[in-house]
């Protein structure tokens, strides 16, 4: 009875799943904006929804409010090139993220910011599951 209730609860509350998903995305970068390295306060669509971008992990990156607002409805890769804080390693990280290669993306971000500390628990778990499959 309780288990059934729990399943129902999740179906009735997609917001709960959404919150978990958002949390895990921020964890990947240690809660840092993928573009500038400031604390990430939002999730940004690399390819904006207005251009057909989906709300998938590959297309959603942690971003600070400033970058997210400034970028607005533009494709992130084009927008990022024009920024003062442009860093080719971060640009590569965004591209890798978009390709679904989070492992490479995280490595590039670590390279761009040596102080980058990340709680990789989620990420390592994903990897071991991948190996097991
Ligand atoms: Zn930023």
Residue 34 Cα to ligand 1 middle (Å): 7
Residue 15 Cα to ligand 1 middle (Å): 25
74-89 residue pLDDT tens: 999 999 999 999 999 9
Residue 94 Cα to ligand 1 middle (Å): 13
Burial of 51 (0-12, 13-18, 19+ CB in 10 A): exposed
Q: How far apart are CA 50 and CA 40, in angstroms?
A: 22
80-119 residue pLDDT tens: 999 999 999 999 999 999 999 999 999 999 999 876 665 5
Burial 69-80 (b: 16+ CB within 10 A, else e): eebeeeebeebb
Confidence (pTM): 0.77
Q: Report pLDDT for 127.
A: 45
Residue 52 Cα to ligand 1 middle (Å): 23
């Amino acid at each position: 009875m309780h288990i059934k209730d729990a399943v129902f609860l999740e179906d009735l509350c997609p917001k709960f799943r959404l919150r978990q998903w958002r949390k895990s995305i921020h964890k990947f970068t240690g809660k840092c904006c993928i573009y500038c390295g400031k604390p990430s306060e939002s999730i940004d669509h690399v390819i904006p929804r207005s251009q057909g971008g989906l709300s998938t992990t590959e297309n959603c990156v942690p971003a600070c409010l400033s970058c997210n607002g400034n970028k607005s409805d533009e494709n992130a890769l084009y927008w990022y090139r024009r920024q003062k804080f442009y860093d080719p390693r971060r640009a590569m990280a965004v591209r890798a993220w978009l390709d679904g290669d989070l492992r490479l993306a995280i490595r590039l971000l670590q390279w761009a910011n040596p102080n980058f500390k990340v709680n990789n628990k989620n990420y390592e778990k994903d990897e071991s599951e991948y190996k097991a499959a």
